[in-house]
Structure 1
């Protein structure tokens, strides 16, 4: 296979795997349009609303909890297929199941799929990708995630507009897209889920996982389709060598050689959630309205922020393998710190109707989208040893979901108790701590094979 065909093959694998990110983003964002309609139809109490939203989060934590162990045992591809199947069942269930209890159960199932995908997709891409483009390809996952958020915002707005201009009739179509349009919002997820599941039948298993399981020729053949025969032979030898030097146990994660890597794997996802991104998204419509932009409804404002978040992620795809992970992280965390401080200052001084507030928010989104958002996945997917990478990634991504839960509960409390400006300064403090952590602990990993990165930790500890 010549170089051009190898590149097309690699791109195809990455696109299919990244659909897991699209589903992740879609499911995360679709609830914003669904919740008001479900609340109105079922007269949900505050507690019921909270459970309706957080049921998927409980599923996420459950999915992450077993995904690492199972992906190390049964392979990355099988877990991705399980994830796609759960997405599909969830979308169908939310669209068609009659009672609220069953719909929440479907949300829980979908959450398990999200949890699996959030761990296994970046893990799989990092193990497939050549060192020279690994950062870029893993970042496609974050790009797909932001695209999924945008798709949800667009389809929510489109279906709501469609339903308001149609008369309800006694048919399944009208029930899904007119009478109970929130079912159609959920149901749209069937199409990318089917695409993801179908595509997975066409992609290979992770070559590193195959070699780890002693299937050396299969692993080498897949590597050869991606990097060429000579590089495949070299990489197979390096992988086999690394596996003879390590044991596949959780104890390895906390050994002196891996302590710094594990600390990064926990802290970077933690800081990503405490960066203030949720507060920005929460305040998005208000910020735009106060800045003088006239909007017909909050869904349109979400689309504007969704587009910005997706477009700024392209910077990471462009620069992560040339400029490197460390410089992007440092620039991004420093910029986010400054912009959150200035955003808080706008609220403190009462300058909420000025264009400066909008510019500060968009600048923060840029800093988050090209560094803090995608790079936590890139770094976590490449800093752990081959034999335990799945389980180590699960610990890292579990931290992200737990932090997400904490921030979701904490943000409204801070806004009420401290005020808006202090809340933004609180998140800015965490971005500053993230900058210091990256400066002190994160080595540059661009252009290095996963085995070279593993050897670096062992050599420096």
Structure 2
């Protein structure tokens, strides 16, 4: 009898199938994010020909997603605390599907821009809601791994769209791709949007949101399904949630709660980590991977294929991240991840500094980009989302998380817009040196300011932040 009890204990890293299914469905929102992040890497090669756009306008269209996302995450954070996480995830799926249709059938640049902005709204909502929802529904022992599944879905979306881009680009003529191919790349995105919308009907609302709306019994039933905890343990946990919510409510307005001791520091860390995640240079690599590979000596088709390889690497190393985040802890992975990416960026700068690029350096550049991507996925890729999802009080978690997400998308937009300018004005060498310096800074930031949150309940994290 004792043996059976140990297997199902709350200390075990085992978890019910219901939790796995629920997290899998919620994490599919990340697939939308990943798909839209990667689709421009293929379409950007051909889309300019259809509408005869300048490089500046083409860059703006690429940046429409983060622009829309900045607004989307703020809307989602506010409404998620008002009407629930699940309803807003439905809205995000609808917006994403509409964006895919709009981009595919755009007859002019204005419709294309509007469609991309609508997609950005949906992606911003997803990026705020999904990590938050998964963190709130997952037991503390596996919370990092479960939230990491969102990054796995993002990486999977990037891989899928890279494959689709490569298949379309490499199996048709350039003229066909310039006229129809890029439209098919966008149109394929409605499939994950519709799939996400349909599957959302099969998952519950966040139990912590339900407790905040005085629906304790329904919250207890859900918590019983996603863990092996006893009824007494679940009741105790619900009481802890109610206690923190009551404390937050009694402290007054959202802004007063946000800037009080503990939460103020949590906001600072979450915002800085959000910005740092983009200063790794990974978004720039994702958007402009084919261009970088072509500059390193690869042809157009080879560049597309090498980009697919990056997508596969992302998926594989996110799996490693999911296995390690709760064992090694957030702090260790993020700190050494920053230093590891810094080494890659500085070595890339060295390679691009060589006056006569040989095939050996071409291969080394590709290898360094893949290694940099691997380290990112093992650390900051999912790590930033984990931190954002678990650092804020229950009552304001949606709105506070949206502020950090806003900072992340603002940084994404800035990097996306500035990266090609940096390459043109500063050159590859100084561009990668600058990103390398940022990576060193983020490792030091984690060492100085972040306290480990692995293995703690969301309520315990709040209490520790007040000390």
Q: What's the TM-score once normalised by structure 2's chain length? A: 0.90
Contact 1:224 1:231 (C-alpha < 8 Å) held by counterparts: no
Deviation at 1:347, TM superposition (A): 2.3
Contact 2:34 2:157 (C-alpha < 8 Å) held by counterparts: yes
> Aligned pair in 2 of structure 1 residues 283, 89: CA closer, same or farther (>3 Å)?
closer
1:428 aligned to 2:439? Answer: no
> Aligned pair in 2 of structure 1 residues 158, 17: CA closer, same or farther (>3 Å)?
same
Residue deviations 1:216-243 (CA, integer Å, cap 9, x gap): 1111111111124343212111101111
Matches within 5 A, 1:34-49: 34-49=43-58
Deviation at 1:290, TM superposition (A): 7.4
Q: After the TM superposition, which of the residue ranges 85-94 and 8-17 deviates more from structure 2?
A: 85-94
Matches within 5 A, 1:12-161: 12-161=21-170
Contact 2:208 2:219 (C-alpha < 8 Å) held by counterparts: yes
User: In structure 2, what is the equivalent of residue 234 of structure 1?
Assistant: 236
CA root-mean-square deviation:
2.5
Residue deviations 1:240-271 (CA, integer Å, cap 9, x gap): 11112213612212112222211111100111
1:319 aligned to 2:324? Answer: yes
1:254 aligned to 2:255? Answer: no
Residue deviations 1:403-443 (CA, integer Å, cap 9, x gap): 11122232233333332222211111111111111001111
> Aligned pair in 2 of structure 1 residues 340, 96: CA closer, same or farther (>3 Å)?
closer
Give the distance between the partners of 1:42 and 1:219, measured in 2 at CA. 52
Contact 1:320 1:328 (C-alpha < 8 Å) held by counterparts: yes
Give the distance between the partners of 2:293 and 2:50, measured in 1 at CA. 29
Deviation at 1:67, TM superposition (A): 1.1
Residue in structure 2 matching 1:362, options 353, 370, 380: 370
Contact 2:69 2:120 (C-alpha < 8 Å) held by counterparts: yes
Q: Which runs of 5+ in 2 are unaligned?
A: 1-6
Contact 2:37 2:287 (C-alpha < 8 Å) held by counterparts: no
Contact 1:287 1:357 (C-alpha < 8 Å) held by counterparts: no
Give the distance between the partners of 1:292 and 1:326, measured in 2 at CA. 38
Contact 1:287 1:352 (C-alpha < 8 Å) held by counterparts: no
Bigger relative contact order, structure 1 or 2 (CA pairs below 8 A, ≥6 apart): 2
Aligned residue pair count: 449
User: In structure 2, what is the equivalent of residue 344 of structure 1?
Assistant: 349
Q: What's the TM-score once normalised by structure 1's chain length? A: 0.91
User: In structure 2, what is the equivalent of residue 381 of structure 1?
Assistant: 389
Give the distance between the partners of 1:6 and 1:399, measured in 2 at CA. 33
Matches within 5 A, 1:266-277: 266-277=271-282
Give the distance between the partners of 1:125 and 1:7, measured in 2 at CA. 14
Deviation at 1:101, TM superposition (A): 2.5
Contact 2:99 2:116 (C-alpha < 8 Å) held by counterparts: yes
Contact 2:170 2:301 (C-alpha < 8 Å) held by counterparts: no
Deviation at 1:162, TM superposition (A): 4.3
Deviation at 1:60, TM superposition (A): 1.0
Give the distance between the partners of 1:280 and 1:106, measured in 2 at CA. 24
User: In structure 2, what is the equivalent of residue 171 of structure 1?
Assistant: none
Give the distance between the partners of 1:217 and 1:185, measured in 2 at CA. 46
Q: Which runs of 5+ in 1 are unaligned?
A: 169-176
Give the distance between the partners of 1:278 and 1:202, measured in 2 at CA. 33
User: In structure 1, what is the equivalent of residue 185 of structure 2?
Assistant: 185
Contact 2:47 2:178 (C-alpha < 8 Å) held by counterparts: no
Contact 2:67 2:409 (C-alpha < 8 Å) held by counterparts: no
Residue deviations 1:376-428 (CA, integer Å, cap 9, x gap): 00011001100100011001010011111122232233333332222211111
Give the distance between the partners of 1:67 and 1:264, measured in 2 at CA. 21
Contact 2:41 2:290 (C-alpha < 8 Å) held by counterparts: no
